[in-house]
Amino acid sequence: MTDHALLLVNLGSPNSPEVDDVRRYLNQFLMDPYVIDLPWPVRRLLVSLILIKRPAASAHAYSSIWWEDGSPLLVLSKRLQAAMREQWTQGPVELAMRYGEPSIESVLLRMAEQGIRNITLAPLYPQFADSTTTTVIEEARRVVRKHNLPVQFSLLQPFYDQPEYLDALVDSAKPYLEQDFDHVLLSFHGLPESHIRKLVNPIDPKHDLLATNTAGISDAVMAKCYRSQCLRVGEVFAERMGLKPEQWSVAFQSRLGKNKWIEPYTEATIDELAQRGVKKLLVMCPAFVADCIETLEEIGMRGAEQFIEAGGESLQLVPCVNDHPSWVSALGTLVRRAVPLS
């Protein structure tokens, strides 16, 4: 009887903060049709233009947060992998990155060589989006087809609404909310509106992408609407932490290009909160389970500087769940609920 393996998959990062490594990483990331959903020739032209200047700027940002033992995202993901070995006793626990190394392809090939036939695929994204969950699934399927691997997958479903995940989010953030603060901003990664419209319009073409709460949103729309899932996380978190409506808000960060992205934007919200008189701001990033450039540099450094320049006193980044014991336990429960991937 062969082992049943657990494969954790996160986004990925460059091999180093050097410009050439960052360029290679960005090229792979941006050329994914689930990230930039344009025809290949148009996407190739657009990405080539982006890669003229962006690698140098991104390399500078990566250098500012790079740890002695490597990329924070990769280091934290490895720590989670190690902790999950106590939770997953059916076989090995492996780690792959959708972009960069270790690649999904290299890890799947190694597992196949070891005789592993059953794999629970665990994309480490609480909310669903084609640019996160779907691209991981399709890359795993591509590798299986390419190499004719005799592998069967089970899939960890998006877990934004699962009590275990929400409990872990609360547990990991609670020490920070026990300090003195004026406002909690839940900043999620942004997404072009078109990515959501493509999925949601066949269900409800009138779905409001400016809604401020999830009241009245059907289960069918909720399952496909990344923005609504983010709002739901914010609502449940605020309720569990006893936050008043004026004490918390949701916004979306990391815009790229000139497309219309979901709102409100984090940058604008940070300025508005400072101008409103908020002095001590806590920022959480619940689209991520591991701290990375989008949390450590974009929010923890640039966001903090922006908030102070706008009149605030301090911006405290609340760490992601990372390898917090509550999250390790929660993930252990969630992966055991994985469903067969057809």
Question: Which segments are annotated as binding site for Fe(2+)?
Answer: 189, 294
List the binding residues: 189, 294
Alpha-carbon distance of 195 to 226, in angstroms, equals 9
Return the closest-CA partner of residue 294 out of 125, 162, 134, 121.
Answer: 125
| Type of residue found at 238 | A
Q: Among all chains, which residue has been given the structure tokens 């934004």? A: 160
Q: What's the CA gap between 185 and 163, in Å, rounded?
A: 21
Q: Is 91 left (phi over 0), alpha (psi -120 to 50) or beta?
A: left
With DSSP H G I counted as helix, E B as strand and the rest as coil, what are the percentages for the chain, rounded to 5? 50, 15, 35
| Run of H or E including 65 | helix 40-65
